[in-house]
Amino acid sequence: MFQAKVIDSTSKPELYRQLAGELAALLQGERDPVANAANMSALLYMTMPDLNWAGFYFSRGSELVLGPFQGKPACIRIPVGKGVCGTAVERGATILVEDVHAFPGHIACDAASRSELVVPLVKNRTILGVLDLDSPRKARFDAEDQAGVEELARLYVTGSDAP
């Protein structure tokens, strides 16, 4: 039975280094993209402070479709180009939103969300979907979170079959 260690590091780079180790252990020996996304959502939701949603949307043609997540039930389909998630896919780049109220077109799945980090899942230049983290705290995510979560997303992509 997997048990997430309590992460007690003081610096974010150290926190993400530990989290990467825990994620690598969790993904080891399993390539199913849904199972790995489900466990990864649970790990991030359990170990990262101040999150109210952590999960995946997978690319399905011109839309994103909800995948495994932790948090409140969320919108199921997001057209590419819409919301933070669809915009991240359109740009092929991470989007860090310090204040969701200031992001035109933000899709509010949970009214409590105030900041958001969306990282595209990229394999061989194809965008397989996104990893989406939401926080009830304004400016919860910074450049160190972006770098750390991008590395975690890479671990998911290399450790799983295409969803």
Residues that bind ligand SME (CB under 6 A): 53, 74-75, 78, 83-85, 106-107, 109, 113, 116, 132, 134
Q: Tokens for 149?
A: 């979560």
| Nearest approach, Cβ of residue 18 and ligand SME (Å) | 25
Closest listed residue to residue 14, CA positions, set 4, 22, 2: 22
Q: Report, in Å, the least distance between residue 71 CB and ligand SME.
A: 7
The CA-CA-CA angle for residues 130, 160, 147, to 5°, reads: 50
Contacts 24+ apart (CB under 8 A), 94-101: 94/118, 94/119, 94/120, 94/146, 94/149, 94/150, 96/141, 96/142, 96/143, 96/145, 96/146, 98/138, 98/139, 98/141, 99/138, 99/139
- C-beta of 119: minimal distance to ligand SME in Å? 12
Round to whole Å and give the CA distance between 112 and 94.
22
Closer residue to ligand SME in complex, CB, 22/127: 127
Nearest residue (CB) to ligand SME, 107 versus 122: 107
Looking at the Cβ atoms of 106 and 140, the one nearer to ligand SME is 106
> What is the token pair recorded at 67?
């995948």
Residue 40 vs 78, nearer CB to ligand SME: 78
Minimal distance, residue 29 CB to ligand SME, in Å: 29
Residue among 53 and 156 whose Cβ is closer to ligand SME: 53
Q: How far is the CB of 116 from ligand SME (least distance, A)?
A: 6
Position of minimal CB gap to ligand SME: 83
